[in-house]
Amino acid sequence: MAPKKRKIRVAFKKNRGKRSRAGHELREAIRQDDLDLLTSGERVSGKGNLSRHRTIIAEESEDGQELVVELDVDRERCLAGRVLSIVGAHQCRVQAEEGTVYVCAVRQILRTLSQDARNAVVAGDRVLFEPEPGNQGMIVRVEPRSGILGRGVGRSHQLLVANVDLAVIIIGAVEPHFKPNLIDRFLVSCEKGGVKPIICINKCDLAELPKLLPVVGLYSGLGYQTVLTSAATGFGMKHLADIIRGRQTVFSGQSGVGKSTLLNAIQPELGLVTSHVSLDSGKGRHTTRTAILKQLDQGGWVVDTPGIRQLRLWDVIREEVEGYFVEFRSFVRYCKFPNCMHVNEKQCGIRAAVADGLISAERYSSYQKIISDEIDPD
């Protein structure tokens, strides 16, 4: 189905001014209790500065995402490129197709259109930009995205990366603290964004491998590809490198699980900064401050993202969460009520399957936390 085009109104210049107050004449009239002292043209409360609006044409995709079409983009003046990283509040590094890297600002109307997002552009975005002297530029269009990974932050949506095929979800075999609920949230976010998840258990040299088999067996049995690695010893590194070869991949997970260390082991020339887990708290230190897109010598691109301790899902309603838990699908038919949320309802097929050991109690606990919007503590 072709995208639908429609007109939308956007606040091109937002009103950031304060409402004007009445001047000294109003104060004097109130003091003398005589409003006749006011001139006929004076307002008790002024309108302040008005927002400037603009009508543009937008394309709406099948999933409802608005894809902006800039009518005044001169394609002959523009270059196509890909966003490598975000620099500051409204600038980013963009690599043109011929390889030159530009530092580009983002056109104001693009920032205004991202009403529900914290960032107008993100690492991995394919963009059109107008080049300027000194390897500077102005991004005038963000191409339609596919394969996105994001999270909810407050009342807005924070995109982590765009246009990726794979998401390697890194967890530590021993440190930082293992969070099954975080893995399950990543899996939901990946399926929502159209990204294939890969579960990677790193730092296996610090753990007893037999103790990891239940986790590997759980997720492998559900159809999720799971790999064991150790960047320190090289265990499993060739397997991981083969998986991401020629693909568009994002590495994500908690701080301190070794995302940057794994990438440096795959390609030492990347030179990504690494750190260690805090001995006091057992938590990872934030070393990677922003998502960084890197090209791999073996083919493909990879994005190293900042560590995430919490992942709040975005645009996922309670009623659809069950569909993202693949093991639930065979047992939903046994629920008495068609709108069963699988929490307190009687004759629930999901709860019965958990009681019989057919569904993991840890996965069911993750489901409960997601539908109640409960986030694990740091």
Assess whether pLDDT exceeds 80 at residue 171: yes
Q: What residues have CB less than 8 Å from 288, skipping those under 6 apart? A: 259, 260, 272, 273, 304, 305, 306, 307
Ordered domains of the chain (ranges, CATH): 4-40+49-66 (no CATH), 70-142 (2.40.50.140), 158-304 (3.40.50.300), 320-371 (1.10.40.50)
* Per-residue pLDDT at 283: 46
The CA-CA-CA angle for residues 69, 11, 138, to 5°, reads: 50
pLDDT digits (tens, 9 = 90+) for 45-55: 445 555 555 55
- CB-count exposure of residue 221 (10 Å: 0-12, 13-18, 19+): exposed
**Tokens at residue 187, please?**
């899996």
- CB-count exposure of residue 347 (10 Å: 0-12, 13-18, 19+): exposed
φ, ψ of residue 286 to 5 degrees: the values are: -70, 110
Which one-letter amino acid corresponds to residue 165?
A: D
Which is more confident, 299 or 37?
A: 299
* Per-residue pLDDT at 357: 95
What pTM was estimated for this model as a whole?
Answer: 0.77
Which is more confident, 210 or 117?
A: 210
* Per-residue pLDDT at 151: 82
Q: What residues have CB less than 8 Å from 119, skipping those under 6 apart? A: 86, 158, 159
The mean pLDDT value for 313-325 works out to: 89
Could you tell me which of 190, 177, 197, 183 has the C-alpha nearest to residue 282?
177
Which one-letter amino acid corresponds to residue 231?
A: A
Give strand pairing partners of 157: 117, 152
Q: What residues have CB less than 8 Å from 317, skipping those under 6 apart? A: none
Which is more confident, 338 or 21?
A: 338
319/138 Cα distance (integer angstroms) = 42
Which is more confident, 325 or 114?
A: 325
231/235 Cα distance (integer angstroms) = 7
Q: What residues have CB less than 8 Å from 282, skipping those under 6 apart? A: 175, 176, 177
The mean pLDDT value for 251-267 works out to: 89
The answer to whether the CB of 344 falls within 8 A of the CB of 150 is: no
**Tokens at residue 122, please?**
């993100």
Assess whether pLDDT exceeds 90 at residue 102: yes
172/363 Cα distance (integer angstroms) = 18
Region of poorest pLDDT, from 79-88, 168-177, 228-237, 296-305: 168-177
Element holding 186 (H helix, E strand): helix 180-193
- CB-count exposure of residue 217 (10 Å: 0-12, 13-18, 19+): exposed
The mean pLDDT value for 63-73 works out to: 53
